[in-house]
Amino acid sequence: MGSGDPFGNEATQEVAVGMGGIRSAGDLVLRMQLSRGMKIGQAKEYVAGKLGVKPPELGDCSVMREIRQDLDIGYPMPDPGAAKGIAAKIRIADLLGITINSVEQFKKRSGLS
Amino acid sequence: MQKYFTRMGDGSGVYLDAEAIGQDLKEGTADAARRGKIPELAKDELDYLFEVVTSPVNIASVERGSEVVTSSDSGAFKINYQADISMDRATAVQVHEKVLAADSLDLGNIDYSYKVVKAILNDEAKVMENVQLNTIMPVLYGAMPNLGLYTRPDGPVDNWSELLPLGKIDEARKAQEEAIELAVKDMYYISGGMFKAGADGMNFDTCGASGDADVIAALRAIEKVKKDYPGLGVEMGMSGEFIIGMHGRLEYGGTRVAGLYPHDQVKLAEKAGVNIFGPVVNTNSNMTFPWNLARAVTFIKACVEAANIPVHANVGMGVGATPMSPVPPSDAVSRAAKALVEIGKADGL
């Protein structure tokens, strides 16, 4: 994305072509692109395989909300007691089988590793 | 004769008939093909773009299942500094995540250059640490190589923009080479600090703003960062569609950098270790949206076909067929996004 008012650019682009971030599985797919350089199709296949869904369902917020709640990996409008922030990312790293830098730094600082 | 509502490259509305739209689509793809020495879009692709442009809906979108992901530049200051809302950057990141459904974001300083951040790295790192504790999506740190800042009177090296008009070509080249060394050091230093702060990655943004030396500095810095911090993802975003030869002789891996278009730029990015590449295609505000759309899609399609890494097409105001306006019209923005994903096959925006 880029500059321009957030409604005209960011909101419009997400509505038109975006996966929807933590509303669905956009953050997980992006993680595979950033950590492994996967193209979009490959990254979707990978995440879908880990979640046990079909790739088109990754962008469906009704499907993904239930999955994210069950796995407790963070979601918008969270219930009390749900994993947030770094707690959710610890679970995501484990789920996707990747190293998340902030999780590693957190473990070091908290004496968990 | 029926006329269709569309836009000019500056976002203003215009009514065009089918013949004019078809002609602009053809001329747009031909212009990209001629400049980039890449294939023009096929007739069926141009026909599809015609349908996208003339569709009567306000917002166009992709088919279910064809959605892509989004990364960003601007350092998480679109809401606070740009939209003028009193809000700190760490909160703005959470708004992008939980309200605007962003897939990732970059955090950055309002003076969005690595050289500037060097002096305030400790404070920037603390913001990144807080952001990482409170967010779920990937958050990168972003800034520009911005080689021009290393020139006098702001920086320590001679100013090549003053030397070149005087015909002092050798001196201008030497100054750029000195600036590259300084910029690489700064970008590497800040990347190390952000790694320790828990950043998911670094966004080397607007590369090439000061010409080919600017790109070389970014590529060399990325190479060093990926060697010493392999867990740090790297996104490289460009400043324009064409790398200007302010130096003219600089090479990366045996390839001259000046004059490269996106499909060649991405190969250098891959060589340096980039994970996500962000090509730019400039919007010409004097031409129509159909002309800019066909041109942008032609360049992006060639870049994606050449790439082994994901390509996130830049679609901020004034690039990627997005009109050059601080409030880009949603009809044009959504059509540009749809076409870049469906015909350009972009892996993200």
Output the pLDDT for position A4: 79
The minimum CA-CA distance between B6 and chain A, rounded to whole Å, is 16
Q: Which residues of A touch B326 (CB under 8 A)?
A: 3-5
Output the pLDDT for position A78: 94
- Could you report the average pLDDT of every consecutive run of 10 residues in chain B (349 residues)? 96 98 98 98 98 97 97 88 91 95 96 96 97 98 97 96 97 98 98 98 97 98 97 96 97 98 98 98 98 98 98 96 95 98 98
H/E stretch holding B168 reads none
By Cβ distance, the residue of B72, B99, B136 closest to A89 is B136
Backbone torsion region of residue B196, taken as left when φ is above 0, otherwise alpha when ψ lies between -120 and 50, otherwise beta? alpha
Cross-chain Cβ contact B83/A6 below 8 Å: yes
DSSP state of B238: E
DSSP string, A23-55: GTTHHHHHHHHHHH---HHHHHHHHHHHHTS-G
The rounded percent of chain A whose pLDDT value lies above 90 is 91
Query: What gap in Å lies between CA A38 and CA B310, rounded to an integer?
Result: 6
Half-sphere exposure of B210 (CA within 13 A, CB side): 25
Question: Is residue A2's pLDDT more than 70?
Answer: no
Output the pLDDT for position A1: 66
Q: Which domains does chain B have, with CATH numbers?
A: 3-342 (3.20.20)
- Which residues in A57-80 are b (16+ Cβ under 10 Å) and which e? bbbbbebbbebbeebbbbbbebee
Q: How many CB pairs under 8 A join A and B?
A: 233
Cross-chain Cβ contact B69/A38 below 8 Å: no
Q: Which residues of A touch B308 (CB under 8 A)?
A: 37
pLDDT tier at A3 (50, 70, 90 boundaries)?
confident
Q: Which residues of A touch B315 (CB under 8 A)?
A: 1-2, 9, 13
Output the pLDDT for position B261: 98
The domain spans of chain A are: 7-110
H/E stretch holding B303 reads helix B289-306
B80-112 pLDDT per residue, tens: 888 899 999 999 999 999 999 999 999 999 999
Which CA distances in Å does B222 have to B47, B147, B204, B227, B292? 40, 15, 8, 8, 31
Q: Which residues of B touch A26 (CB under 8 A)?
A: 67, 69-70, 101-103, 137
A56-98 pLDDT per residue, tens: 999 999 999 999 999 999 999 999 999 999 999 999 999 999 9
The rounded percent of chain A whose pLDDT value lies above 70 is 98
Q: State the best of A42, A101, A105 to mutate against chain B, taking most chain B CBs within 10 Å.
A: A101
Q: In 3D, which of A28, A95, A82 has the Cα closest to residue A57?
A: A28
Q: Is B290 exposed, middle or buried (0-12, 13-18, 19+ CB in 10 A)?
A: buried
